[in-house]
Amino acid sequence: MCKTNKLIPLYLMALSLFIIFTITACGDSSTESEFGANYDGAQSIGASVSYNTGGAVDQMADLSALLVADSKSALQRLNPDKGIVMTYNISTGYWNILLTRERGLAGSHPYANITRNYTLQYRNETGDFQKYYVTNNDTARTVIFNIISGSGEHITRNVHQNLDALTGAWIVTKANTDSVVVNGTYNRQAHDTITGYNSTRVSVNTLAVELENVILPRGYTLHYYNAVSGTLTGTFDATITFSSGDTYVERIVHRDINVSFGEGTAKIDLGARIFKTNLLSGELEN
């Protein structure tokens, strides 16, 4: 046999090993990229639903404070250093509510500086609107709560979010009980600067979810976030740009998500992995 023929099996073996190593390396890279995108997504989502960061649970706390007889005073206690303006439209039965809120020290973390515009309508047992939660000894049974707009920023250990748009449409049932039920929609658009893992990246993202039988305490309570339970389902979409470092390759992110509240945490299911967020701080716990 000629020398060339003897070398063919060696060439084939080397080629096979090269292909195996290449596929393995690509698989590892893909896995790492997916984890990085999921981790950043979970950080953005966690901060967008938590209390101190002005997320969804913060708006839920505002709603709960409005489900008492002296609602403006209750809401003011959540906002002692900033302004609240409430005006009533006698024709539509809606309150228009404007508030500003600041938590923490500017330039540090945790920190939040936010503005919100809500509308709210109380309805009695027959479905007619009434001016107050309790009007002529009749307690509201249903409440319509709309998040008209929002702006501001929040800062956690790894995420600095600037809020671009905020809307929501919630229906509250069992409003005359100690635990109310909320269903509806919640949408946020923001751009986040995320640091960690030797890189800095900007995530321009949209969170679009539905509230499914979320249970809230009526009236604000200490450690309010521990009493919230229920589920958010929807989507998270982001466009990622790295300003320094380059820790993963995924640039256009789309995830179907499920967020479940309970015992002061939010479990964020992105399909490949479940992350847990502290509902007070908005920080990931794992």
108 phi/psi in degrees, rounded to 5? -120, -175
Every domain of the chain and the residues it spans: 3-278
Are residues 206 and 189 in contact, defined by beta-carbon separation less than 8 angstroms?
A: yes
CB atoms within 10 A of CB 163: 23
CA-wise closest residue to 64 among 183, 175, 201, 195: 175
**pLDDT value, residue 22:** 39
> Whole-angstrom Cα distance, residue 154 to residue 41?
16
Distance CA 45, CA 177 (A): 30
The pLDDT tens digits of the residues spanning 77-102 come to 887 667 899 999 999 999 999 999 99
Contact assessment for residue 183 and residue 143, using Cβ atoms and an 8 Å cutoff: no
**For residue 217, pLDDT beyond 50:** yes
Task: Return the exposure string of 84-120: e unless at least 16 CB atoms fall within 10 Å of the residue's CB, then b.
Answer: bebeeeeeebbbbbebbbebeeeeebbbbbbbbbbbb
Task: Give the length of the chain.
Answer: 286
Beta strands in 124-158 (DSSP E): 129-130, 134-135, 138-139, 142-155
| DSSP one-letter code for 158 | S
State pTM to two decimals. 0.86
**Does the structure show a pLDDT above 70 at 115?**
yes
pLDDT tens column, 16-28: 434 333 333 334 4
Nearest Cα residue to 183 out of 198, 173, 193: 173
DSSP-derived secondary structure letter, 64? H
